[in-house]
Structure 1
Amino acid sequence: MSKMPLKTSSAMHVHGSDGIHASLADDGVLDIYWGESKLYQSSSAAFKDCLESIAPFLRADGVEARKRDLLLVRDHLNVPQVELATHLLEYFDESNSKNMQVRWNGVCLVGFDHASYPNVPALDAQQREALANQVGRWHTSAGNRVKEFELVGVNIDLFCIPMPNVNALRTRVLERMGAK
């Protein structure tokens, strides 16, 4: 499901979930992925806000938080194959036993400023070590936020994209979208 039906306001593209996707696992469980993205100057702030945003949907106590979005998924299911759509809808029917065969997952894209983004093949050993240390700090920061928002044990795919200037990227994307 795309971003806009999940927004709290259709005039404000920055509020609400960024998307919900699903896949049927080999064990018959429906994996539902809440998507969230944050692009900030600070990696720490990006990790914090991204994981804080999806936490209400992923924690065991998130039944109420999930309910609204799952109703939207049910009503706006974007699956062209009728048989597949019918099968998926069984998971959203509270009277169907498949309703209990669902795993809540997260997928996060976190972008942040990193002015000295390296040309990895051209790095010497000392520069590679410095880069490995930086990646380790990002890993620690993200792990601390997972603990803070009680998401330990939840499957979260976290894509980190350091870039020279988040604000420049945001400005270009918004211009291409025709938004202010």
Structure 2
Amino acid sequence: MNTLDELLLKKSLAGTYDDLPPRIKVHTYTHKHLDKTIKSKFFYIEFKGHTPNVTDLVKFLIHKLVQYCIPKRERLDALAYGNATGDSRLINELHEKAKKLFITAKLQQKRSGEPAEVLLFTLLEGYLQAPQVVAKMYLKTDPQMPTYGADGIHVMLTEDQRVGMIWGEAKLYQNLNAAIPQAVQSLHQIIKERQSGDCRDVDLVRDHNTIQNENLRSAVIDIFNPYSDAGKNMVDIYASFVGFDYQKLVDCKSEDDRQNFFNEYTDLIKTACESFQNCIKEQGLQEIEFIFLLLPFDSVKNFREAFFKEIGLENVQ
């Protein structure tokens, strides 16, 4: 890809993300001892006073549901109708449709329809400038459409100008130490399916991708054409988003506590990165490229409950 393609990627994002940094901040830290195959980014929820503003984050993610769930063509049609007629009915209906898709997916598949998936989508698009390739949530409610595999499929431009196909997995855990081995194991299953030569996610990219720009869509599809050389410039990248409980956020009662959180979080990141790298080596995945994303919560349970309540689901396990 060249510079023009970078512009295409930016134009293919689901929307603008100027409203993301006020909600989810980047914790600036570079782990110098990570293998070059592992890219990492660490976040925290913006504080309100001395506690993370989870309420605002939940409302923000609910507004992102339309971009996450609904293909861009359908969204553009609704916007065009609204601009031409002054009638916002179709736009409002998309919000309800997105919520319904999410609810239906959750009720049909216990492990699906999770707020972690929306967070993964938002962080990949907003901070990595990697547009979504397939709106999997749009397909999950179709019983004839198997959508197992990665939680998210995105595309990005790597530092060495290759096309990076991102296959992402997103989970919320109460315990980070237990989370990392499970997260790597989940990625390993996706990797094995991708390398098997019979990958359902690749079929979705070919047949159900939602990229609006014709040039970019053709370029992505061509990557998986066995008779094309385009795949030689592609690399598979496996992204792991882990949200987790962190006691230091619960203990945050003052400005000193908040500063202590940042210091302790940096130390935690070092340990988490080493654990992630060790798990990759134990699974024999050293040659694979990864993206490791972390976001701590004062309570994952409370965050999930608030999210599901906002979309109209109560008592979700």
The alignment's TM-score, normalised by the length of structure 1, stands at 0.78
Percent identity between the aligned chains? Answer: 25
Partner residue in 1 for 2:290 = 156
Cα deviation for residue 102 of structure 1 reads 1.9
Could you say if the C-alpha distance between residues 75 and 88 of structure 1 is closer, same or farther in structure 2, counting changes exceeding 3 Å?
same
Q: CA separation in 2, counterparts of 1:135 and 1:80?
A: 37
Q: 1:171 to 1:71 in 2, by over 3 A?
A: same
Once residues 2 and 18 of structure 1 are traced to their aligned partners in structure 2, the CA distance between those partners, rounded to angstroms, is 10
Q: Provide closer, same or farther for how the CA distance between residues 110 and 75 of structure 1 changes in structure 2, counting only shifts above 3 A.
A: same
Q: Give unpaired runs (5+ residues) of structure 2.
A: 1-133
Equivalent of 2:179, from 35, 42, 46?
Answer: 46
Task: Determine if the alignment matches structure 1 residue 85 to structure 2 residue 198.
Answer: no
1:61-104 Cα offsets, whole Å, 9 max, x none, are 84227721011111111111112212221112111121333211
Given residue 286 of structure 2, which amino acid in structure 1 is its aligned partner? V
1:112 alignment partner in structure 2 = 244
How far apart are the structure 2 equivalents of 1:139 and 1:178?
36
Q: Distance in 2 between matches of 1:62 and 1:119?
A: 46
> For 1:145, which of 276, 279, 292 is the aligned residue?
279
Match of 1:55 among 188, 207, 211: 188
Q: CA deviation at 1:31?
A: 0.8
Contact 1:39 1:111 in 2 (8 A): yes
1:36 is aligned to 169
Q: Which residues in structure 2 correspond to 1:117-132 (within 5 Å)?
A: 117=249, 122=256, 131-132=265-266
Q: Which range moved further: 149-158 or 66-75?
A: 149-158
Quick one: structure 1 residues 66 and 30, their matched pair in 2 at CA, closer, same or farther if it must change by over 3 Å?
A: farther
What code does the residue aligned with 2:283 have?
F
Structure 1 spans left out of the alignment, 5+ residues: none
1:33-76 deviations in Å (ceiling 9; x for gaps): 111111010102221222211223346x8422772101111111
- In the TM superposition, residue 152 of structure 1 has moved relative to its aligned partner by 1.9
In 2, are the aligned partners of 1:112 and 1:163 still within 8 Å (CA)? Answer: yes
Deviations 1:139-177 (CA, angstroms, capped at 9, x unpaired): 222222222233323322211112111111111222223
Q: Between Structure 1 and Structure 2, which shows a larger proportion of helix residues?
A: 2
Cα distance in 1 between the residues matched to 2:311 and 2:259: 42
Counterpart secondary structure, 2:247: coil
Taking the aligned partners of 1:97 and 1:132, their CA distance within structure 2 comes to 43
Aligned with residue 136 of structure 1, among 270, 276, 290: 270
- What is the identity, as a one-letter code, of the residue corresponding to 2:236? W
Number of corresponding residues: 176
In the superposition, relative to structure 1, how do residues 112 and 25 fare at CA in structure 2: closer, same or farther (>3 Å)?
closer
Amino acid at match of 2:155: A
TM-score normalised per structure 2: 0.47
1:106 shift after superposition: 1.7
Deviation beyond 6 Å, 4+ runs, structure 1: 124-129
